[in-house]
Structure 1
Amino acid sequence: MIAGLFPPSQAIAGKTGCAPADWHDFDVDRDRHIRVPVTIAGIPFSAVLDSGATRSVIDRRIADRLGLTAQAGYTARGLTDDVEGAIGEAATVRIGDIALSLSMGVLDLGALSTASSRPIDVVLGREIFEQGIVDIDFRKERIRFLNRDCRPGDGRAIVLPLRNKDGMYSVTAAVEGRGDVDFLLDLGSTVSVYLSPSYALETKLLEGKKVSTGMTAGMEGLDLSLLSTLRSFNLAGVEFRNVPVAIPERWSQQTSGVIGLPVLARFRVQIDAAAGHIRLTPDGDTHREPFARDRSGLSTSREDRHLRVLHVARGSPAERAGMRANDRIVAINGVGVPKAYPPGAIPIGRRPAGTVVKLLTAEGGDHSITLEDYY
């Protein structure tokens, strides 16, 4: 629950008339998370903005560090399963000149941090979107929070109804020319599109396609998914081609799928939860740009001075090169694994098809992997 809202001088919901709102910079990290600088109880953090979270969440170790007391009674709904947590006492959360007093959920976010290039300590969820209009400009990497009297105008914007599914937002979209179905709107998901296993089975979606496997991460931990590619995906009348899709073994949502940040970031996004709609403005020709994908077949986590292999994808270059789960990668192309892996902005597996990557494992194996689109 929200223990308190914005102070009267800052509250979005309490303002009348469309007052100007400051823009706040954010960065979209290499894992495709929106990272927003915040302070909690006066201490700075980098928070992940997540429209798929029914409430804001703080990692258990951070709550302990801040001295926040917590009581049992909070259950978070993940993509594949529910997660039991606690509810922390109210703390002041500031984003720029905006302040909220929130009782956040307290969870172990370790699995998310393990799969990320940077720790995930705080997740900003539904409370942020309920206070007014959230306006996200991905091209300029900035965000602003408008009061409900503001209705940003743009003749190119497509307005879609925003539904409420168990405290989460959903819109309709179409897969490969089939009829529109409900998809959760998840700015916190780094996967372009998730589909439920029942939808994939009923529509025979995978017939005739390359199919592999991969590890995906959520608040509930790591899960195995089937990986493939959609020939087309239509959102707001915009058609995307060759879209990577993940189909988890388990599914706990009421929708047929989830739309993640790699798709949503190709629009200017304005979420108006109070009015029950979302405005999507196509960002130039970005819908034609290819989607990032892994071409190695390795799911890894960072451990000290090596990468631990969590999963080797079926039929992938890594599998053909003899890589196995639990291998420890200690060098990439003759260079030790850097502390801040991946180096630069592009993980090894997301480099162009045909790139040769040489890996050395602590188990004494030399593996040469030629990257390719294996799904």
Structure 2
Amino acid sequence: MFLLPMLLSALALPAAQPAGTAILATDAETRWVPFDLTPGNQLRFTMAIDGRPATAILDTGVSYSVLSRRFATAAAMPVRPGGSATAIGGLVDIGWASTRTVTLGGVTRRGGGLTVATLPALATGSAKAVDLLVGRDLTGAYALDIDYANRRFRLLPSGRMPFNGRTAPLAISRDRLVYVSEVTLGAARLRPMVVDTGDGSSITVTSGGWKAAGLTTTPTTTAISFGLAGAVTSTIGIVPALTLGQLTARSVEVRVEPAGGFSESIEVAGRIGSGFLQNYRVLLDPTAGRMVLSPGPTADQPPVRSTSGLLVGVDTDRLRILHVMRGGPAAAAGWKEGETVCTIDGQPIPANYGSSSLATWSAGAPGRVVTLGLCDGTQRRLTLRRFY
């Protein structure tokens, strides 16, 4: 599958609201929260807000959890105006809604409230939007154990070490109030790096950080991602190695933001996203000052690499071309953003496209010829090749 990674970070949210009181259950260790990975590469699960089920995404790149306006309206929750917040892609309008209880795994928070904003479906790469982005305010006081291989996570008392692995520094930044660490890329030590489970990409750095790393011979192309405030086009390349604390990771996809991009604007060096973290079992424990990573079966394997040069979004029964990658076969063939595909080698786009074998075509073997049926009835043949 080669779908579009999404960026759900919403940093720099105002904090002048009551926090509520959170209690961690004595049996929290047994209260695993099952999740699935969205087509946009985020952790999606179900929790409860005032006793109502809510679909949520775990997003450690968000300082204060964000509730969708749609959910607030359906639950008849009064929303007070809250100004605007900095997000990837620009500014978003926000509000504030008081809550009675918020329940996530073994944690129950009474009182307080949630930031409210519009959460677009496109941000998960699927046709259905979620109700909540679970941010640092709900998880930061605990050890967050994410078992990607078994699609589950849990919240534990800080200081617990439920498994062994390589450690890296971890803290909550004083200014942005999000999880941060640091990496060594090429010749550069980059910090602070936001540890961002809501970012479906792997590693993202600023243009200055990429230049300082000195990786000038790395082949690159372009890609697009979506934040809460809109689209961002970046350069991407695959680097041979990257160091995160005691861990050296191999064959890592790195996304380079344009000059003046989001990371630079909020004075961070970049982000460590779910696209990277999902190769490990991960413990995030900022109170103890550490992140622990235990390699999973996909660690150090070459990342999925587009051979079509098309990044797509799923729109019910069709694929919408969201970006044509620089230097790829699709660019050479004249493909344009906004075009829609209804069949692949004669097969219609299924409802479960993101998890189906059909989705592997865009990163297929070089030399394969794929016949794409556009929704206007025309057909085009695309020969796949490696281009970065």
2:23 corresponds to 1:4: no
Q: Contact 1:50 / 1:188 at 8 angstroms: preserved in 2?
A: yes
Q: Tell me which residue corresponds to 1:247.
A: 256
What is the aligned-residue RMSD (CA, Å)? 2.7
* CA distance in structure 1 between the aligned counterparts of 2:312 and 2:366, rounded to whole angstroms: 20
- Check conservation: 1:239, 1:287, Cα contact below 8 A: no
Corresponding position of 1:312? 324
CA distance in 1, matches of 2:315, 2:31: 40
| Equivalent residue number for residue 108 of structure 2 | 99
* Distance in 1 (alpha carbons) for counterparts of 2:320 and 2:32: 40
Q: 1:82 aligns with which of 66, 91, 94?
A: 91
How far 1:142 moved relative to its partner?
Answer: 2.2
1:72 corresponds to 2:85: no
Specify the alignment match of 2:137 in structure 1.
Answer: 127
Question: Which amino acid is 1:132 matched to?
Answer: Y
Cα gap change, 1:374 to 1:161, in 2 (>3 Å) = same
Q: Which residue of 158, 167, 174 corresponds with 2:167?
A: 158
State whether structure 2 residue 385 is matched by structure 1 residue 372: yes
* One-letter identity of the residue aligned with 1:69: P
Q: Tell me, which stretches of 5 or more residues in structure 1 are unaligned?
A: none
Q: Is the 8 A contact 1:295 1:374 kept in 2?
A: yes
1:237 corresponding residue in structure 2: 246
1:298-320, CA deviations, whole angstroms, 9 ceiling, x for partnerless residues? 23333454322222112112122
Q: Which of 353, 372, 378 in structure 2 is aligned with 1:341?
A: 353
CA displacement 1:138-184 (0-9 Å, x = unmatched): 23322221224x42265544252425151112111111243353211
Find the partner of 1:136 among 136, 146, 154.
146
TM-score by structure 1 length?
A: 0.86
Question: Which moves more between the two structures, 282-291 or 30-39?
Answer: 282-291
Relative to 1, partners in 2 of residues 1:373 and 1:121: Cα closer, same or farther, differing over 3 Å?
A: farther
Structure 2: which amino acid aligns with 1:181?
A: R
In structure 2, stretches of 5+ residues that fail to align are 1-16
Distance 2:306 2:127 in 1: 15
> Per-residue CA shift, 1:268-290, capped at 9, x if unaligned?
22222333x12313225643222
Deviations 1:297-344 (CA, angstroms, capped at 9, x unpaired):
223333454322222112112122331122121211112223343351
Contact kept? 1:244, 1:293, Cα under 8 Å: no
Report the count of equivalent residues.
365
1:198-256 residue CA offsets vs partner (Å, 9 max, x unmatched): 32245454x33322222101111212112222232111232222322222332233221
Identity of aligned residues (%): 25
Q: Does 2:158 correspond to 1:145?
A: no
Q: Deviations over 1:44-92 (max 9, x none)?
A: 2331101100111122222211111112225433234332311122253
Looking at structure 1, the residues matched to 222 and 101 of structure 2 have their Cα atoms a distance apart, in angstroms, of 42
Contact 2:149 2:296 (C-alpha < 8 Å) held by counterparts: no
Aligned to 1:256: 269
Q: Which amino acid aligns with 2:116?
A: V
**1:109 corresponds to:** 119
The alpha carbon displacement at 1:108 in A equals: 1.4
Contact 1:93 1:99 in 2 (8 A): yes
Q: Is residue 279 from structure 1 mapped to residue 288 from structure 2 by the alignment?
A: no
> What is the 5 A alignment of 1:185-264?
185-205=195-215, 207-249=216-258, 250-251=261-262, 252-264=265-277
The secondary structure found in structure 1 opposite 2:31 is coil
> Following the alignment from structure 2 to structure 1, what is the Cα–Cα distance between the partners of residues 29 and 218?
50
Q: CA separation in 1, counterparts of 2:96 and 2:46? A: 22
Secondary structure at the aligned position of 1:104 is classed as strand
Report if aligned partners of 1:185, 1:259 keep a CA contact under 8 Å in 2.
yes
Do 2:324 and 2:335's aligned partners in 1 also have CA atoms closer than 8 Å? yes
CA apart distance, 1:114: 6.4
Decide which moves more: 243-252 or 44-53: 243-252
